[in-house]
Structure formats: structure tokens, C-alpha cells
């Protein structure tokens, strides 16, 4: 029997941001159309007939938040019947990492607002977007342990304490500082510079560090097993 199908394809983006002061946050938009008018949701929308999934998610992010993402990875597909009251919609979801500092948010198209929300204080979300965020956070926690994607969330040069704090925040558990530094420095792609951090209070400033991406990819080709 021939399949009867009337399915639409959409994309949704979970964009995580991080600052030392605020911790981990997620980028949300307030919907200005039904369904779920005035509710907060993930940026996203239907894929156009003539575009790829990757182009669609980048377009939706730019249209609804004015944010462009350097690191964006496909996460999971959500297709439970009834997840969208208008149509049968399968959403191919993505997650990305950015530094919120310096980004200017501007809501357009069907988004009334765009804002960052701390992961500890997220509002109730439209559709099944809470489930999507949970899945994205699980992926982030897993991946940051075996691939150095966390450097997307740090400045180009950073005190080592900021790297420790980032991992403790994302993994939601304390970090053994001595073992963490010993373990991560042995890989050779974290470089200690001669530059000193700027302290806001009295104290001895430590050196800044940087991530040598070329060195990491060289080691990865050699079969490096990075795991924290």
C-alpha cells in the first residue's frame, strides 16, 4: 500500500552561551504568532524547498536573533505526532556554542524578542523545546569530556582557572584542580603564554593560556585520545 504522507520538516537551534559571571545560558525567542503566542521557544522554523538543513538553521537564527554561529552541530530529530498542533512536523535540531559578550540580539520575522536565559532559570517553553534543550545539554556534557569544544566559549587567551570553571559549570560537578590541570596540559595543545591576567583585586596575577587548534588537529590525526 502506498504511504500517505503530509509531513513538514523544520529546524530548531539550541545555542548555548557562557560567561564566567553568569555561567551557562541558552538563547530563546518570544513567539509573536500562534500557536504558543507570547511563549518562549528555541529559534527555528520550516526548511525551504531549495535549501539545506544547515542553511535553514543558520537562516532562522539570523532572522530571529541576528546571531551567526561558528560552532553548530546536528543534535537529534524530534518527530512525535502532535508536537506541533498545526501540522505533522519533524524537527532536525542543532546545538551551537557562542560567547554572548559583544553579540547584539535583534528579533525579526515571527520572533517578538530574543534573549539569553540562564540554564538555572529557563521559562516554560513552547512545543517540546524543553525536551530538546535537555537532549542538547546531555550532548554538550558528553562531548566536552572527549573533544575540546569548550574553547569556543572562552576568550582567545584565558587564565587556567577560567577553563576549570567552565568545565565545572557545564558538567555540574566539582573539578579536582590539580589533576585537571595535569591531565589537560599533558596533551600539548594548551599553551602557557608570558602574558599576565588582569586582576580586579590585589593578588599575584597568573599567566594566560591559549588553545593551539592546529596542534590539536595534528594530534587528532595521530590518534590522540582526549578525555577529561
Q: Indicate which residues carry an active-site annotation.
A: 113
Residue 81 burial class via C-beta count within 10 angstroms: exposed 0-12, middle 13-18, buried 19 and up: exposed
CA 128/CA 115 separation, integer angstroms: 19
Which of 215, 195, 214 has the alpha carbon at shortest distance from 205? 195
Grouping H, G, I as helix, E, B as strand and the rest as coil, residue 127 is: coil
Name the pairing type of β-strands 23-31 and 111-118. Answer: antiparallel
Read off the C-alpha cell for 173.
560537578
Beta strands in the chain (DSSP E): 7-19, 23-31, 40-41, 44-46, 71-78, 88-98, 111-118, 157-159, 190-196, 207-211
Which of 57, 77, 79 has the alpha carbon at shortest distance from 7? 79
Taken as a whole, the chain contains a residue count of 228
Grouping H, G, I as helix, E, B as strand and the rest as coil, residue 88 is: strand
Contact call for residues 43 and 30 (beta carbons, < 8 A): no
CA 6/CA 122 separation, integer angstroms: 33
Amino acid at each position: 500500500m502506498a504511504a500517505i504522507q503530509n509531513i513538514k520538516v523544520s529546524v530548531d537551534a539550541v545555542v548555548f552561551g557562557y560567561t564566567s559571571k553568569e555561567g551557562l545560558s541558552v538563547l530563546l525567542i518570544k513567539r509573536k504568532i500562534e500557536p504558543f503566542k507570547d511563549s518562549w521557544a528555541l529559534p527555528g522554523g520550516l526548511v525551504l524547498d531549495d535549501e539545506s538543513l544547515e542553511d535553514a538553521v543558520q537562516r532562522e537564527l539570523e532572522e530571529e536573533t541576528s546571531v551567526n554561529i561558528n560552532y553548530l552541530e546536528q543534535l537529534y530529530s524530534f518527530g512525535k505526532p502532535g508536537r506541533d498542533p498545526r501540522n505533522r512536523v519533524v524537527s532536525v535540531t542543532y546545538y551551537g556554542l557562542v560567547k554572548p559578550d559583544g553579540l547584539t540580539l535583534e528579533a525579526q520575522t515571527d520572533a517578538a524578542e530574543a534573549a539569553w536565559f540562564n540554564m538555572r532559570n529557563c521559562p516554560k517553553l513552547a512545543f517540546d523545546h524543553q525536551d530538546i534543550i535537555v537532549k542538547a545539554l546531555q550532548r554538550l556534557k558528553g562531548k566536552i569530556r572527549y573533544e575540546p569544544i569548550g574553547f569556543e566559549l572562552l576568550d582567545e587567551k584565558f587564565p587556567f582557572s577560567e577553563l576549570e570553571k567552565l568545565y565545572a559549570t557545564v558538567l555540574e560537578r566539582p573539578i579536582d584542580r590539580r589533576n585537571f590541570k595535569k591531565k589537560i596540559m599533558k596533551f600539548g595543545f594548551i599553551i602557557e603564554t608570558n602574558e599576565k591576567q588582569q586582576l580586579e583585586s590585589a593578588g599575584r596575577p597568573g599567566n594566560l593560556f591559549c588553545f593551539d587548534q592546529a596542534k590539536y588537529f595534528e594530534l587528532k590525526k595521530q590518534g590522540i585520545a582526549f578525555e577529561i
